[in-house]
Amino acid sequence: MKRVVIVGAGPCGLAALKEMVESGHETILFERSGQLGGVFASATAYPNLHLTISNWAMAFSDFPDPTRLHYSTAQEYLHYLHEYARHFHLERRIRYHTEVRSASLRDDGLWSLEIQTLMGSEQSIFHLQADALIVATGSNGLPNAPPAGLSEFDGRVIHSSQYDEAFKQEVAEKKLKVLVVGGGESGADISAELGDLSPNVTVWLRRPICVGPRYLNKKDEMEQVEANMAVDFPANGFLEAATTNRMSAAQNVYAYGFFRRLLWCTPVLNGTLSRMSLASTASAFLRNDQATYVTKNQRMCEALHDGKIEVVVAPSMSARGRSCEFQLADGTTQRRDFDAVVLCTGFRVEFPWIRLPGKLTLSSTPRSWYLHCFPEGLGHCLFFVGYARPHQGGVPVMAEMLSRYIALLLRGERELPPDYSAQAKRDAAASREYYNLSPNLHTLVDYNAFLESAARRIGCEPRLPLLCILLFNFHMLTVLLLALQLCHPTLLWWGIRSTLLMWAVSMAGFFVLYDGLLIKWWFYPHWAVWYRQRGPNADPALLDGVLNRVNLWKSTAITSGYSPPYIAGCPAPAKALCIARLPMAAVRSLHAMRSLGWYRCR
C-alpha cells in the first residue's frame, strides 16, 4: 500500500480520500480552512446560490442523496458533504488549519512536503514524505484578472467571489448603476438578483452565450426551484434528463444539432434564451451548444425578457473614470456610466508550491494532463482531481471516478497506457477543436464520454440484464420487419398485423420488465450511481434503490412545454413516458467524442 497525501477538503478531495482509504492506502488530507466543503463552505459561495444540476447528479456513486430530486442550495450541498464524511468516517483523516507550503519530488520518486499549521497566532512547520500526491484544491482558487479595458475605471470593482449581502443592500438603497461582466452561471444569478434591486443593471458579454434552463420549460426558474423544494418534479423535467441520458448520447452530433436548432425556433423555451442560443452558435451550425460552454441557468434571460436588465454584446470595452465605452461588432459604440462593476469572469489555477527536479515541468493547463488528471511524466505519483469540468454534469462525480481509478493504479491492479502523455496531447487537440467556441475553458469535457472512458479502465461500466438485451434486440427486429413489410407486403409469410402485434408486445415489455429498466436506461439521467452496478466495490442495491425512487409512472410527464406541472393551478402530471422529448435529447454524441479517446478503452 502507498502513503498518500491529499490537498483540499472540498467535494473532490473528500471523494479522493474515501477511495484511497477504502483501497487500504495510508492517507491523510490537509485543509487550509477550518472545515470541509471547499467553495461551498467559503465566502466565495455567493448568497442564494443554487446548483445548476440536481442534488442526485451531484451525489457520489456510493452515497445517493436521500432527499427528493431538486436543485440544492450551497448550504444543502454542504450538509450532504458532511453526511458523506460522517458516513465513511473521513474526518479523522483530515488535518484542518494546515497548508502545504511546498511539495518537492525527490530523485528517489518520493514527495517531500513542508506543511504549516495555521491555528490562531501559533504557527508551526513540519515535514513528511509520501509516495503519491493528490491535488484537489479546485479550479476556483484565484480570480481571473479584470479585463484590460477596466484598468482606468475608478468606481468600485469586485469579483463574484466577493459578492455578498452588504453589496446587494448598497445597490438596493442607492440604486447603483452596476455592470456585470460575464454570462456564466454566477453572472446569470447575480445580474438577475441585482435587476430586482436596481433599474440600472447592465451585463457585458463579448459574444452571445448559449443557455440551458434548469427545467425544460419557459416558466420562471426560481419559482420552480422554490416549489420543487416541497413537491416532487418529474425526473424528465430536469435539464440533466435532456443532456446526459444514453439515448441522447447515442445520437449523431449533427443530427442532434439540427433538432436543437428546430427547438430554439419554437415557443417551447424562453424566447430570449432561444434567440441568444441561436446567435451564440451561428458559427457552429449543426453543432450548436456542443461547441461551447453552456450556461445552465436562464435567470439572466428571464430578467432581460422582463426588461429588468440590459445586455450589451460587444467584443471589447474601454473605461475612463466612471464611463465605459463598448465597441460593438458592427463598428458602432455605446457609452454607459457605472458606479460599480461585478466581475463574473471565473478563476485560474496555479501550483507554484509543487516543485519538480531536473527537466521535469508541470503545465497548469488541465487539458494537457491525461484524463485531466495525470500530468506528463508524473502519472505514477502526481494526480489532479476536480479539473475535469463536464459540459453537462457535476465536477465531483468526475473526481470520484478518477479517484477510483487512481486507487486501483496505486494498488497495482490497473496500469496507465504506456503512451498516456501522447494520448493526452491528441485528446487536447481534439478538445480544442470540439469546444472551439470556448477556447479559454481548458477544463471542459464531455460528461457521458468521459465517465464511460474512466469506467472502462476501472471495469465498472453498467450493463443491462440479459432479458433486457434480448427484448431490445427483439424490438429492433420487429421495427426492421415492419419496414420491410411496408416496402414489400408479400415478402414474409405472415401479415403486417402480426408484426405490429409483436412490435406492440415488445414496446409493452419496455415498460413492464424490471419496472421499466430499459426506459430508465435510455432516457433517465446518467447519474453516478449507475457505476456501482458492477466492478470494484460494486453495490447494485444502491442503483436499484435510486431507480425505485423514480417510479416510471410517477417520475415522467408530458406537458405543453415539457414543464413540471406543479406551479399553482396546474394539474397532476400525465402518467406517460415523454417520448416526445427525444428530439431535444442530449447535448452531444458519443460518436463525435470517440475521436478524443475518452470513450474507447485503450
User: Domain-by-domain residue ranges, the chain?
Assistant: 3-137+350-386+392-434, 143-232+262-346, 466-596
C-alpha distances (whole Å) from 346 to each of 141, 313, 595 are: 10, 18, 29
Q: Is the pLDDT confidence value at 562 over 80?
A: no
Is the Cβ–Cβ distance between 437 and 295 less than 8 Å? no
- What is the reported pTM? 0.88
pLDDT in tens, 140-153: 778 898 999 999 99
Angle of helix 165-174 relative to helix 185-195, nearest 10 degrees? 40
Q: Is the pLDDT confidence value at 572 over 70?
A: no
Furthest-apart CA pair in the chain: how many Å? Answer: 90
Q: Is the pLDDT confidence value at 566 over 80?
A: no
Q: Is the pLDDT confidence value at 542 over 90?
A: yes
Of 315, 292, 296, nearest to 432 by C-alpha is 292
Of 133, 61, 137, nearest to 455 by C-alpha is 61
pLDDT of residue 546: 94
Q: Is 113 exposed, middle or buried (0-12, 13-18, 19+ CB in 10 A)?
A: buried
Q: Is the pLDDT confidence value at 600 over 50?
A: no
Angle of helix 11-22 relative to helix 74-87, nearest 10 degrees? 10
Q: Give CA–CA dist 536/24, Å, rounded.
A: 14
Of the CA atoms within 13 Å of residue 386, those in its CB half-sphere come to 22
Of 337, 317, 331, nearest to 148 by C-alpha is 317
Residue 351 CB partners (closer than 8 Å, separation 6+): 135, 362, 364
Q: Is the pLDDT confidence value at 409 over 60?
A: yes
Residue 384 CB partners (closer than 8 Å, separation 6+): 134, 135, 136, 366, 369, 372, 373, 374, 375
Superfamily designation of domain 143-232+262-346: FAD/NAD(P)-binding domain (3.50.50.60)
Q: Is the pLDDT confidence value at 95 over 90?
A: yes
pLDDT of residue 558: 56
Q: Give CA–CA dist 217/302, Å, rounded.
A: 12
Superfamily designation of domain 3-137+350-386+392-434: FAD/NAD(P)-binding domain (3.50.50.60)
Model confidence band, residue 274 (pLDDT cutoffs 50, 70, 90): confident
Q: Is the pLDDT confidence value at 594 over 50?
A: no
Measured CA angle at 557 (ends 475, 590), to 5 deg: 55
Which of 58-62, 136-140, 579-583 is most confident?
Answer: 58-62
C-alpha distances (whole Å) from 293 to each of 131, 184, 441 are: 37, 9, 8
Range 265-269 contact pairs with CB under 8 angstroms and sequence separation of 24 or more:
267/218, 268/217, 268/218, 268/561, 268/562, 269/213, 269/216, 269/217, 269/218, 269/561
Nine-digit cell string for 34: 477550518
Model confidence band, residue 593 (pLDDT cutoffs 50, 70, 90): very low
Is the Cβ–Cβ distance between 61 and 462 less than 8 Å? no
Residue 108: CB atoms within 10 A of its CB come to 7
Q: What is the 3-state secondary structure (H, E, C) of 389-448?
A: EECCCCHHHHHHHHHHHHHHHHCCCCCCCCCHHHHHHHHHHHHHHHCCCCCCCCCEECHH
Look at the alpha carbons of 420, 424, 426, 431 in this order and tell me if their dihedral is positive or negative.
Answer: positive
Q: Give CA–CA dist 592/595, Å, rounded.
A: 6
Nine-digit cell string for 28: 491523510
Model confidence band, residue 564 (pLDDT cutoffs 50, 70, 90): very low
Cα dihedral 62, 64, 65, 70, rounded to 10, equals 130
pLDDT of residue 139: 81
Strand partners, 30: 7, 95
pLDDT of residue 288: 61
pLDDT of residue 580: 26
Mean pLDDT to the nearest integer, 188-195 = 95
pLDDT of residue 328: 94
Model confidence band, residue 575 (pLDDT cutoffs 50, 70, 90): very low
Amino acid identity of residue 52, one-letter, is: T
Residue of 279 and 112 predicted with greater confidence: 112
State whether residue 552 is helix, strand or coil.
coil
Q: Give CA–CA dist 452/125, Å, rounded.
A: 42
Is the Cβ–Cβ distance between 222 and 79 less than 8 Å? no
Nine-digit cell string for 187: 453572472
pLDDT in tens, 461-485: 999 999 999 999 999 999 999 999 9
Mean pLDDT to the nearest integer, 393-412 = 96
Measured CA angle at 450 (ends 446, 453), to 5 deg: 150
Percentage of the chain exceeding pLDDT 70:
91
Q: Give CA–CA dist 28/126, Å, rounded.
A: 14
Q: Give CA–CA dist 371/588, Å, rounded.
A: 19
pLDDT of residue 134: 99
Q: What is the mean pLDDT of the chain?
A: 87
pLDDT of residue 287: 67
Model confidence band, residue 253 (pLDDT cutoffs 50, 70, 90): confident
pLDDT of residue 43: 59
Model confidence band, residue 488 (pLDDT cutoffs 50, 70, 90): confident
Q: Is the pLDDT confidence value at 411 over 50?
A: yes
Helix (H) or strand (E) holding 313: strand 310-313
Mean pLDDT to the nearest integer, 159-175 = 94
Model confidence band, residue 563 (pLDDT cutoffs 50, 70, 90): very low
pLDDT of residue 210: 86
Look at the alpha carbons of 227, 57, 37, 156 in this order and tell me if their dihedral is positive or negative.
Answer: negative
Q: Is the pLDDT confidence value at 369 over 80?
A: yes
Q: Is the pLDDT confidence value at 573 over 80?
A: no
Q: Is the pLDDT confidence value at 554 over 80?
A: no
State whether residue 336 is helix, strand or coil.
strand
